[in-house]
Amino acid sequence: MARVIVIGAGLGGLAAAARLAKLGHQVTICERRDRIGGVLGSIEADGFRWDAGAASTTLPAALRDLFRKSGRPLEQLAQLDPIQEPRRHLFTDGTVLDLPLTDRAGQLAAWRDLAGEKASLEWTDLVDSYGETWQVLRKTALEAPLPDKRSFAAWRALRPWQSLEKVAKRKLSDERAREVLAFHATLQGSDASRTPGYFGVGSYLERTFGRWTFEDGFAVLVDALGKRLTERKVEVRLGVDVAGVLTSGGTVQGVRLADGSELAADLVVSDIDPRELFEHLVIDPAAKKERRRILSTHLAESQYVVHLGLREPLPELPFETVLHGEPPVLIRRAGQAPPGHQAWSVLVHGYPSDDVIDLLVARGLPIRDHVVSRQTSGSWWTGIAWEGARTASRRAKNVTGVKGLYCVGAGAHPGGGVPAVVLGAAIVADAIGKA
């Protein structure tokens, strides 16, 4: 049995802690804030409730596997439901696309109605082609550490040097289809011109596996993980700031807290920004090369989030609506609201130069006189920005060069988003193994 300290109680830290405790290790989480969940959670005000961070996910199997491998199935704690509504795309030319998530024929028809037969077939053929991409990514990256020499040929088959923008221009003749393909990269704060073309696999995953949410919001997931940690006897220490990782000869010895006290450990799992970890917390010479590589990366552009409580009548919007243009905007119609009202969350790529209400009105949503509550959760980062194909190898590895030090979370392999973060925690648990 190893003594494990997890730095940070975001989704990656919680997932790793639950899995490692089930494997028989003694696990302690140190979280600087006064609650667990990181960007996940809820905001409540004026009778409304909104998801603070993620509100949906694809690849529901990743969450189900987390709970199955750490104890009872997820369904015994929370109900994960599929989103049945299409995602709406509003383009700058005034056209509208309601794109079904899990219906290939429905997507074909939606594109045909908007842009004609040629555009619909181009979109469908491109998304179909990402099926093979998904199989390569799943085997070589999402379920394993970064590809080694044995899987390098398969990795090259993804043509990571081709950008998502170039793939879109080559495969899609309609500019609106190119914007929809780039949506997933934009949502994570990256530029499609510097994001590998294989990142378009997100459109395939949604069409194949759909998107899923919790009826009462994604804070339900945090509550379920909290219960799992209690069942597994994980010690959760809130309001505890880790100031350093103790090492000797390139091997982890424990952590030093901000109050000067020390906690001994055999293993440390970090769920904080790897740039902060290697620049300020890890000073061992064994980390020199890794530090240089990780500090060469840059954070993805943050999403500025404003939560609105609105009085009906309102424009009829589905669960998610994308307002294409500059800046791109995502509206989530989710959360809880009093009768006769709706809860919207507005996510703007980067920090908007205009007020969010002005931005929505200018994009054709006249909601100014309907606002009864406005809450700002500020900006939250979604991981490391794509800056070409080499970004994948510059991210923090799950198993670092310092013996006993591991990384999970949006800044580590395999990247940001609920499925990737949960799968990264599984990679760490598999690397550590049973007690």
Report percent pLDDT > 70 for the chain: 96
Instruction: Give pLDDT, residue 37.
Output: 94
Pairing type for strands 96-99 and 87-90 reads: antiparallel
Residue 352 has pLDDT above 80, yes or no: no
Tens digit of pLDDT for each residue in 274-328?
999 999 999 999 999 999 999 999 988 778 899 999 999 999 999 999 999 988 9
Q: Which residue has the tokens 């081709």?
A: 162
Q: Which residue has the tokens 């090259």?
A: 156
Q: CA 63, CA 15: separation in Å to the nearest integer?
A: 9
Mean local confidence (pLDDT), 111-132: 97
Q: How many helices (H) and strands (E) does the chain have?
A: 15, 19
Instruction: Identify whether the C-beta of residue 348 lies closer than 8 Å to the C-beta of residue 304.
Output: yes
Contacts (Cβ under 8 Å, ≥6 apart) of 259: none
What's at 14, amino acid-wise?
Answer: L
Mean local confidence (pLDDT), 215-234: 95
Tell me the angle at which helices 117-137 and 104-115 cross, rounded to the nearest 10 degrees: 140
Which CATH code of 3.30.70, 3.10.350, 1.10.1420, 2.60.40 fits the domain covering 303-380? 3.30.70
3-40+219-298+387-432 CATH: 3.50.50.60
Mean local confidence (pLDDT), 125-152: 82
Mean local confidence (pLDDT), 380-399: 87
Q: Which residue has the tokens 């500019």?
A: 175
Question: What is the pTM (predicted TM-score) of this model?
Answer: 0.94
Domain ranges of the chain: 3-40+219-298+387-432, 102-204, 303-380
The radius of gyration of the chain from alpha carbons, rounded to an integer in Å, stands at 22
Lowest mean pLDDT among 53-57, 109-113, 165-169, 401-405: 53-57
